[in-house]
Structure 1
Amino acid sequence: MNSQVAVAITLALKFGEGKTIPKGTGIFLVIVICIFVLAYGRSWGPLGWLVPSELFPLETRSAGQSVVVCVNMIFTALIAQCFLAALCHLKYGIFLLFAGLIFMMSCFIFFLLPETKQVPIEEIYLLWENHWFWKRYCGPDQDN
């Protein structure tokens, strides 16, 4: 999030004035974006594949993972296709949008996903049935 905010602030202050960006600012932007890519690849990037593989019960794991792969590929392509248009319309705000999305994803993971450490695969469904939020949707009294 910090690197996205740094890029947004730098672009808000130095970009779009009709002047060439100074070389030092350009180098700073490239370094900060590389730091973001490195950090995202080591943190959030793999979570889209890891979290679903741990949270689906055995009976639905393969089907669930197939849906996850499909949705991941669709949204990756959508973001790649829309980035330049969004950059033109939102300007530096696109980086603030990404920082906000990372914040919302972090809150979702922290508050709404149960911890799977030391839980056998066969008992994953119990995490959902006992979770403070998800139990009303997947408790034992629900028709699945």
Structure 2
Amino acid sequence: MIDLQIITAVVLAVEFGHGKELSKGISAFLVIVIFLFVLAYGRSWGPLGWLVPSELFPLEIRSAAQSIVVCVNMIFTALVAQLFLLSLCHLKYGIFLLFGSLIVVMSCFVFFLLPETKQVPIEEIYLLFENHWFWKNIVREGTDQEQGKSNGKPVAT
């Protein structure tokens, strides 16, 4: 996907914006490259926006949390759709370099900050975050009330 974004940016930088129209061959090439990007996105990053949150949230709040995820996803999809042409006018071919760099940032985030969930039951995913080198500082082992109950001590309310 990064390569396809760079190819699109390079073709637009070289062929577009010099007071001439793109040839049919270059236009067809760009359509194919963008088609391949959409295909690659749909097979890789596209589903992750739905899969990762569905595994992250505990069962007690999963449906409510997924509702918020869907709402936020739709809001940002609408924003990207509305602002793309404006961004294309101002950044020109650079918008595709921006998208390519965002793919690099997302890949680094997933590689370094999300634990592997293969062969882990969905009910135990939270344990991966409680023991992860980064997330253990943010995610706590249950609430104070749950910790009090597990120690056998009453919790003051």
TM-score if structure 1 supplies the norm length? 0.94
Q: Which residue of 2 aligns with 1:71?
A: 72
Contact in 2 for aligned 1:128/1:139 (Cα 8 Å): no
Cα pair 1:3 1:36 within 8 Å, conserved: yes
Residues 38-91 of structure 1, C-alpha deviations (whole Å, 9 max, x = no match): 111111111100111112111221121111101100000000000000000000
CA RMSD of aligned residues (A): 1.5
Tell me, yes or no, if structure 1 residue 47 matches structure 2 residue 48.
Answer: yes
Stretches of structure 2 lacking an aligned partner (at least 5 in a row): 146-157
Equivalenced residue count is 144
Q: How does 1:102-121 map to 2 (within 5 A)?
A: 102-121=103-122
* Mapping for residues 1-80 of structure 1, pairs under 5 Å: 1-80=2-81
Measure the CA separation in 1 of the matches of 2:74 and 2:142: 35
Q: Give me the whole-angstrom Cα distance separating, in 2, the residues matched to 1:143 and 1:107.
A: 33
Which has the greater radius of gyration? 2
* Unaligned 5+ runs, structure 1: none
| Cα distance in 2, alignment partners of residues 139 and 106 from structure 1 | 26
Superposed structure 1 runs of 4+ greater than 2 Å apart = 139-144
Report the Cα distance in structure 1 between the residues aligned to 2:53 and 2:17, rounded to whole angstroms: 41
Q: CA deviation at 1:15?
A: 0.4
**Distance of 2:71 and 2:9 partners within structure 1:** 31
Shift of 1:25: 1.1
For normalisation by structure 2, the TM-score amounts to 0.87
8 Å contact from structure 1 (residues 9, 92) kept in 2: yes
